[in-house]
Amino acid sequence: MKPTLLILAAGRGSRFGGAKQVAPMGPKGETIMEYSIYDALSSGFEKVVLVINKDVEQDTFELIEKLGDLKSKVEYAYQDLFTEVIPDELLEGRLKPWGTGHAVYSAIDQIDGAFAMINADDFYGKEAFEAMASFLTQNTKPSDFAMVGYDMINTLSENGTVSRGLSKSDQNSLLTSIVETHGIYEKDGKIYCEGKNGEELISEGVASMNFWGFQQSVFDEIKTGFQKFLKNAKDITKDEYYIPSVVDAMIHDGRATVTVLKTDAKWFGVTYKEDTETARASVTNEVNNGKYPNPLWK
């Protein structure tokens, strides 16, 4: 069975100032998400599941209409409507999404088998999709996970700090730990983050840009972990449940091995509004180099 691509497209883009997942980036107004769909379907993925919310529903539907016959390969899950695992009293006063862990879990009814997940507003490169599709096709044990890693320095923004999954691996390219790290920035050629005790130097590790490969077994782990999160969150009105936390716990408990996939793929994305022109120029460069048709859909 070919793997599924799960795209997290329910973000509200608070730092960007709008829904990044439907922002035009390509020469003919294509979004970054469309290039990911194109790469996935041409690299061995069978279908695409979009996790969206009601706020971007119509814009997303209109975007997918451009795919023509390929739109039959796209399904939808709603993160903001998936509340059956959240007690009613905790929903009151919650104004933001519950995090990437909850977003993945909201698509449980649309996924059967191995799948990869990505962010809608990140450009990962076709080589990354090919590597992930190959891994998920060849590795089928419930504990066989994968992650595409990128050099941290190439994932930063000139317009503010960013959050990344800081990951470390062993000599066999197996992930040993991953920590959701916030406030990352570059200064004088070095990378720092805003730690508990102020500025902290990041001297090792690569960035996880939320390109993961999972087996169906991850859903049970997410459900169990989410219940613990709801019980132990310090501020239930804004704390989020992140996929890296799920993976890190499984690694340390011996319930998963995560292969870090190394490719020549180049990542770029949009965190702030000011990143838009750089991202558009990067997409245009990919098109001009012949990697994508123009327009993308015919």
Q: pLDDT (tens digit, 0 to 9) for every residue of the chain, 298 residues total? A: 899 999 999 865 544 445 677 889 999 999 999 999 999 999 999 999 999 999 889 989 999 999 999 999 999 999 999 998 999 999 987 888 899 999 999 999 999 999 999 999 999 999 999 999 999 999 999 999 999 999 898 899 888 999 998 999 999 999 999 988 999 999 999 999 998 888 999 988 889 999 999 999 999 999 999 999 999 999 999 999 999 999 999 999 999 999 999 877 889 988 888 889 999 999 999 999 999 999 999 8
In a domain, 157, yes or no: no
Query: Which residues touch 187 (CB under 8 Å, ≥6 apart)?
Result: none
Contact call for residues 118 and 211 (beta carbons, < 8 A): yes
In a domain, 36, yes or no: yes
Please tell me whether residue 48 adopts helix, strand or coil conformation: strand
- What are residue 82's phi and psi, to 5 degrees? -90, 85
Type of residue numbered 59: D
Q: Are strands 74-78 and 198-201 parallel, antiparallel or unpaired?
A: unpaired
In a domain, 118, yes or no: yes
In a domain, 165, yes or no: no
* Nearest CA-CA partner of 1 in 127, 140, 151: 140
CATH code for position 48: 3.90.550.10
In a domain, 156, yes or no: no
Joined together, the tokens standing for residue 149 give 């890693």
β-partners of residue 164 are: 181
Q: Are strands 257-261 and 144-150 parallel, antiparallel or unpaired?
A: parallel
The CA R_g of the chain, rounded to the nearest whole Å, is: 18
Whole-number pLDDT of residue 93: 79
* Nearest CA-CA partner of 259 in 177, 179, 175: 175
Whole-number pLDDT of residue 12: 58
The 3 state secondary structure assigned to 222-252 is HHHHHHHHHHHCCCCCCCCCCHHHHHHHHHH
Distance CA 257, CA 260 (A): 10
In a domain, 167, yes or no: no
Distance CA 210, CA 205 (A): 15
Number of domains composing the chain? 1
Is pTM, for the whole model, over 0.75? Answer: yes
* Nearest CA-CA partner of 191 in 176, 201, 179: 201
Q: Which domain holds residue 103?
A: 4-142+207-249+264-288
In a domain, 23, yes or no: yes
In a domain, 78, yes or no: yes
